[in-house]
Amino acid sequence: MASSRRLQKELSDLKSCGVKAYESVEYNESNLLHWTVLLIPDKEPYNKGAFKVNIDFPADYPFKPPKITLATKIYHPNIDDKGQVCLPIVDPNNWKPATRTEQGGDDGSAGPDSRTGTRSSTQSGLGRGVQQGPKEIQQNRRGIHQKARREATRINYPCRSWDMAGDGAEEMVVLVTGGTGLVGKAIEQIVKSEDRAGEKWLFIGSKDCDLTDLQATRKNERFTYINGYFRRLFEDVRPTHVIHLAAMVGGLFHNLAHNLEFFRRNMAINDNVLAMCHEFDVVKCVSCLSTCIFPDKTTYPIDETMVHLGPPHDSNFGYSYAKRMIDVLNRGYSQDYGRKYTSVIPCNVFGPHDNYNLQSAHVLPALIHKTYIAKKEGKPLEETSDPLYLLRSIECCSLQEVDPIILSVSEEDEVTIADAVKAIVKAFDFQGEVKFDTTKADGQLKKTASNAKLKKYLPDFRFTPFEEAVKASVDWFVQNHESARV
C-alpha cells in the first residue's frame, strides 16, 4: 500500500541522512507503521539524557500525521501526561503530506507551512521552553509542566479562568460546562470570593465550545476555535473534576414547541461530556438535573428513588428524558469502569444571570421581567400559570456515590405562584393591578420534593430565604436589564 512504500523510502533516506539518532531506529519489516527511535538531544537541559520515542503511523499516511509518544518519562510544555508530543507540525489541521520524517529545522519552531520534520521537531523541541534541567523539573513538576499547560489554556480558550494553585501543591483543575449561565455564574462568584488554594477553575459557555460535536470545526488561525473542538478542550485543559451544567433549556412554552430538539441536543451534550470525562480519567463529574425528570403521575413527596418510575409530563418530555439519561450514563460508567460520577437535582433555580426572555424563560425570571415591564409602562401584571413551585436555590456538593441527590427546601417551605408574585411585586414596589390568566397551559401542577438525603449529608445547610432571594434577583435585573438575557 502507499503508506508502506512511503515509509520504506523514508527509512532508506534516514540511513543516509547523517542523523545519529536514526542509527538506532527499530521497526518490524512486516509492520512499518510502528517505529521506535532513541533521541539524544544536543541542547540543554536534556543533552545529558537519551529518550525513547514511539512513532505510530496511520494506515493512510502520509495524508494524516503520525502519533509521536515519548516512552521515557519527561516533563515538558509540549508533552502531555501520557507522553504524547503536542507540536503544530503533527496537528491534523496543520499536517502537510509533503512533510517527511527526517526533514526539519534546527529550532523546531517552524510554522504549519514549513517542511519541518517530525523527528527534528521533537528532538529540538526538547531544548526549548524550559529553563531547568530534568532533575529539577521532576522535583517541581507543576512549576514547569503545569504552568505551561495553564498558559496554553489561557491562549486557546476565551473562557473565564480562575487559577488559585500554589506552586507547591498538586493542582485540582475544575472544568465548568455551562459556566456562563445562571448556576455557572453563581459558582464563579463563590470561587472568586473564597480562598481555594490548589484549585484552578475554568468556566466555558456555548460560545467557547459546541458540546454537541466531538469534532467541531476550527479556524485556520492558530488557537482560535469555532464552536470549540470539544475533544481538544479536554486534551488541553486536562480537568480532574467537571461540573456539568451545560444544556439547552427553556420555559414551558419553549419546551412545548421544541421537544424533539430539546431531546436530541441535550442527549448529544450529555453523552459527549460523560464520554470525555471517562476518556480523560476525570476523578469526579457532578451533573445538574431538574425536578422535571420525575414522573408526572406520582406520589408526594418525590425522592431520588422515583426518577424512572413513570413518564414525565408531556409538556417537556424531550428535556426530561435527556436529563434522565445522565443518571443512566452515570450508572453505566460506574458498573463498567468503577467511575463515581453523580448528579444533583435542584428545584427551580433562579437568580442573577438567568434567562429572562419572556418566550423561553422559566417562571420566576419571566415574572420578574413581566413586572419590570408592567411597572415601567404602567400596565397590569398578567400571570399565566398556577402550579406550585419550590424555592430556587442550589448548593453543589461532592458525593461519593452515583445516585442523584435532590437540592430542595423542606416541604413546609413550598410556595405557590401567587406567593411568588406577591414577593416579586413587593420587591419592585409595584402598585398596579395583578391579573391571573387561567386559560393558558399550566405544565406540571405540583413538584413537592423530599430533602431528606440532603439533610443527611448537610444537616446544617440553610437555603437563602425566598423573599430575600427574590429581592436580590429583582435588584440585579433592574441594574443589568440592558445586558441581561431578555
Name residue, grid cell 391579573.
435
Q: In this structure, are residues 433 and 374 in contact, taking their beta carbons and an 8 Å threshold?
A: no
C-alpha cell at 12: 532508506
Q: Which three cell numbers stand for residue 96?
A: 502537510
Rounded Cα distance between 358 and 440, Å, is 15
- Annotated catalytic residue within 86, 159, 292, 347: 86
Omega of the bond leading into 62 within 30 degrees of 0 (cis): yes
86 as an active site residue: the answer is: yes
Contact 438, 386 (CB under 8 A): yes
Closest Cα partner for 231 from 75, 92, 76? 92
d(CA 198, CA 146): 12
Cell of 86: 503536542
Sheet of strand 284-288: strand arrangement: 160-163, 199-204, 172-177, 241-244, 284-288, 342-346, 405-407
Q: Which three three-digit cell numbers place residue 375? A: 411597572
Distance, in Å, from the CA atom of 264 to the CA atom of 266, rounded to the nearest integer, reads 6
Please report how the helices 230-237 and 147-156 are oriented relative to each other, as an axis angle in degrees rounded to 10.
150
Query: How far separated are the first and last CA of the chain, in Å rounded?
Result: 59
Cα–Cα dist 119/104, whole Å: 8
Taking the CB of residue 43, how many other CB atoms lie within 10 A of it?
A: 14
Q: What b/e string do you get for 203-241 counting C-beta neighbours within 10 Å, with b at 16 or more?
A: bbbbebbbbbbbebebeeeeeebebbbbbbbbbbbbbbb
Give residue 137's identity as a one-letter amino acid code.
I
3-state percent breakdown (helix, strand, coil) of the chain, nearest 5: 35, 15, 45
- Radius of gyration of the chain measured on its C-alpha atoms: 27
Minimal CA–CA distance to 24: which of 44, 50, 56? 50
User: How many C-beta neighbours within 10 Å does residue 19 have?
Assistant: 17
**Secondary structure (3-state) at 214:** coil
Q: Which residues are catalytic?
A: 86
